[in-house]
Amino acid sequence: MSRFTDLFMGMLGAAPKKPEKVSEKVQQIMFLKYEDKDRYIKEKLHAREHHAISHKWRNRRWAVLIATNLLFVFSFWLDIQILEGALTASRFVGFHLIDLNSALQVMLAHKHVIVNLFIGTFTVFLLWVLLGGRSFCSWVCPYHLLAEWTEALHLKLVDKKIVTDHQFHRGTRTVFWILFALLAVVTGYTVFETLSPTGILSRALIYGPGLALAWVFLLLLFEVFWSRRAWCRYVCPIGLTYGAVGTLSPLQIGYHVEHCFHEGDCRKVCLVPHVLDVTVKGRAAEESMGLGPDCTRCGLCVDTCPTGALRFEVKGLSKLL
């Protein structure tokens, strides 16, 4: 199977596999890397020493996420009318924008598509093809930010051995995607929207809080005490919808095996560590590889990598420059 299919299947829940064929260039790199063990260890320690811990991408991302959500809020509160509506559907200076998963749920439940719905959906589709699909999750979704903060709490409790992370099968999210699609068709209600913490939080910010926030709170508790980032990892169909869109995206995080010491710091901070399976020693088939559609382009691995083996890239552009 091609790398493209492997990555897509990986997003749906398949376990990462060892590459069938490793390119000669990579074999050469690996050989050189491990040729002299002392030198390898020395270089590794040297890189660690000089690694200034940075939160550059995280800070940028948080700023964008907060600014986007505040733009929704102020467009209504201050009546500046730049971005009217909520994350499910809105108008940016008059242009319709419609969340792809919400649009899908409505189309399946209502079985009728009007022009504005189509235009808004298509615009957002193009936007996220360009910006990298699941970038929506980490750069826009307000639940992602809350979950990131409570994740820190979860990790602290795990560290103190008070809680353990109960992992589910990653394929569960695919099952949910299918089930929610079926439920919309069969019941004629947008069932997922009743649960979606993304929609609930977005509306709570813009139109004022409601009891529905209790559900979001319960989800966060579940993630703190039972399973790390459970909603985003194992449930949320929005992530899978945007992930599918991101398969075509030129914006990605690229991995360069030459600079990697295979220590796995990146996998510890990642929401979807299976996309970083290439960073395991012996898993990279090519000299440089994209992380694939399930990567949320959050940049935590870019920040944490001491050697610059992981970078934001635009496919094709790096070759041109």
Partner 1 sequence: MSETKARPATSIEKAQKARRRFLQSVGLTAGVVGLSLLGYIPVVDARPPRLRPPGALNESDFLSSCIKCGQCVQVCPVQAIKLADIGDGFGLGVPYIDARAQACDFSCDAVQCILACPTGSLTYKKPDFLNIRDGAPLAAAPILKAKENDPEPTLNLKERIGVARLARPESCLAVQGKGFKGPARGAAFTGELRYMAVDRWKPVPVREHPYDLELCDLCVRECPVKGAIELRPVKGADGVERMTPTVLEPCVGCGVCEMMCPPEPAAIVIDPQAVWKA
Cα 134 to the center of its chain, rounded Å = 5
Q: Single out the residue of 47, 117, 130, 205 in contact with partner 1 (rule: CB under 8 A).
A: 117
Q: How far is the CB of 118 from partner 1 (least distance, A)?
A: 10
Instruction: Considering the complex, state which of residue 40 and residue 76 has its C-beta at the smaller distance from partner 1.
Output: 76
Residue 245 or 301: the one with the smaller Cβ distance to partner 1 is: 245
Distance, in Å, from the CA atom of 231 to the CA atom of 214, rounded to the nearest integer, reads 15
Q: Is 53 in the site for partner 1 (CB under 8 A)?
A: no
Bridge partners (DSSP) of residue 90 are 85, 97
CB atoms within 10 A of CB 303: 20
Q: Which of 206, 220, 232, 260 binds partner 1 (CB under 8 A)?
A: 206
Among residues 33, 65, 69, 88, which is the contact residue for partner 1, using CB under 8 A?
88
What's the one-letter identity of residue 131? L
Residue 181 in tokens: 């699609």
143 binds partner 1 (CB under 8 A): no
Q: What is the DSSP string of 220-269?
A: HHHHHHTSTTHIIIII-HHHHHHHHHHTT-SEEEEEEGGG-----HHHHH
Residue 185 has a CB neighbour count (10 Å cut-off) of 13
Closest to partner 1 by CB, 115 or 320: 115
The b-or-e profile of 93-107 (16+ CB within 10 A means b, else e) is eeebbbbbbbbbbbb
Q: Is 244 in the site for partner 1 (CB under 8 A)?
A: no
Q: Is 91 in the site for partner 1 (CB under 8 A)?
A: yes
The bridge status of strand 288-290 relative to strand 310-314 is: unpaired
Q: How far apart are CA 205 and CA 142, in angstroms?
A: 9
Question: Of 27 and 167, which has the nearer Cβ to partner 1?
Answer: 167
Q: Contact between 47 and partner 1 (CB under 8 A)?
A: no
* Integer Cα distance of 120 and 226 in angstroms: 38
Determine if residue 95 is left, alpha or beta; phi over 0 gives left, psi from -120 to 50 gives alpha, anything else beta: beta
Residue 247 engages partner 1 in binding (rule: CB under 8 A): no
Q: Does 205 sit near partner 1 (CB under 8 A)?
A: no
Nearest distance, CB of residue 210 and partner 1, angstroms: 4
Q: Does 261 bind partner 1 (CB under 8 A)?
A: no
Q: Is 308 in the site for partner 1 (CB under 8 A)?
A: no
Name residues contacting partner 1, limited to 160-189 (CB under 8 A).
166-169, 171-172, 175-176, 179-180, 183, 188-189
Pattern of binders to partner 1 over 60-79, x per CB under 8 A?
A: ---------------xx---
Binding site for partner 1 (CB under 8 A): 75-76, 84-86, 88-91, 96, 98-99, 102-103, 106, 109-110, 112, 114, 116-117, 120, 166-169, 171-172, 175-176, 179-180, 183, 188-195, 199-200, 203, 206-207, 210-212, 214-215, 230, 234-235
